[in-house]
A and B are shown apart, each in its own frame.
Chain A
Amino acid sequence: MTNSTPMRIPVVQRILSANDQVAAQNRARLQGSGITTVNIMSSPGAGKTTLLLSTIEALGKARAIGVIEGDVASQVDADKIAAAGVPVVQINTGGGCHLDAPMVRQALDALPLETLDFLFVENVGNLICPVEFDLGQSYNIALLSVPEGHDKPYKYPGIFEAVDLVVVTKLDLLPYLDFDLELFRELVAGLNPDAPVLPLSATTGDGMEAWISWLMAAQGKAA
């Protein structure tokens, strides 16, 4: 061909390094403001927004809460949170299946960070992609609702392996569905012995105390 033989140049750079850098900046900014940030991941319809509304009701007087709502489209979740009286920013990913650190950085500019104790980031409903993208959170948590079935750790091990806490939602539906809570606990413990499993119903309030206690302990650790 030509006299120019290709020369191999070593690179060894993580493909998501740009995201990771912004995530590190977000983390420094949030920690600098004394904020405990919780990235909430689950399938669509597992009850992320409902859990947030109940959390705001239970904790909103004692702690200043802010919310980032990630959705492919629409403002409906942010409207519900805003109606509960806490600052909220809606991110629409426009088809994107997850939030990334630059999106969160932009949302942080629109939140009163100096006044907040907790920031909840409701990720796009999806059990696969969100876990790949660091946002700058203090904690990752996964929600799994009772109707989804106890077998999900077999199908989506990546998310259960990566989170700090697993919340089982819609516990009030347990009597009507074939969900083996003990088996689910075993499966999660197998993948991730460090992650507690907290079953709750945001509708009846059953189990909410343990969740609020976990948040308070998390805040203590993050501070």
Chain B
Amino acid sequence: MHELAVTENILKIAVEHGQRAGAGRITAIHLVIGGLSGFVDDAIQFNFDLLTPGTLAEGAQLHFQRIPARLRCRQCDTVFEPDGIDWRCPECDALAGEVIAGKEFFVESIEIV
């Protein structure tokens, strides 16, 4: 639902860094998105294509690096990747996962010419 505002932020960050580096054009934006961040690649791409015409990032390619969610079971210490929204431990079945990874949500780099 809120991918439009999020995409505006991505564009703003990319354009700021592009301008600072003296870019003629931004050709690619590399994003790192954790599996728990709740953002949908397709929706970001869709909004990006709507927002970019006339900007430094027009035509830029979005690259998504997905970081899978990783949890550590507080009961048995098993580290596992949850299956979708099912956070139960595959070893002991406890719902006791502490988040180790998956909340990442940042612009990693841009490519400019």
Contacts and interface: CB of A to CB of B under 8 A. Distances in A.
Interface of A: 2, 4-19, 95-98, 100, 128-129, 132, 153-158, 161, 186-187, 189-191, 193
Contacts of A186: 95
Contact of A190 (B10, B96, B105, B106): B96
A191 B99 CA distance: 9
Contacts of B5: 96, 100
B38 A11 contact: no
Contact of A191 (B2, B18, B31, B97): B97
B17 interface: yes
Contacts of A5: 113
Given A2-B113, A18-B9, A154-B85, 10 more contacts: A5-B113, A8-B111, A10-B109, A13-B107, A15-B13, A15-B31, A16-B6, A100-B5, A190-B75, A190-B96
A22 to B, nearest CB: 12
Contacts of A95: 1
B77 to A, nearest CB: 14
B94 A8 contact: no
B95 A15 contact: no
A9 B99 CA distance: 30
Band of interface residues on B: 35 or more
A129 B1 contact: yes
B97 to A, nearest CB: 7
B85 A157 contact: yes
Contacts, number: 103
Contacts of B66: none
Contacts of A14: 105-106
B27 interface: yes
B112 interface: yes
A6 B17 contact: no
Contacts of A129: 1-2, 38
A19 B1 CA distance: 17
Contacts of B37: 132
A10 B108 contact: yes
B106 A15 contact: yes
B105 A97 contact: no
A154 B86 contact: yes
13 contacts: A4-B24, A9-B111, A10-B108, A11-B106, A11-B109, A13-B106, A14-B105, A15-B10, A96-B1, A96-B5, A97-B2, A98-B2, A154-B86
Interface string B2-30: 10011001101110011001011001100
A190 B95 contact: yes
A5 B5 CA distance: 31
A190 B74 contact: yes
B57 interface: no
Nearest to A97: B1
Nearest to B28: A6
B10 to A, nearest CB: 6
B110 interface: yes
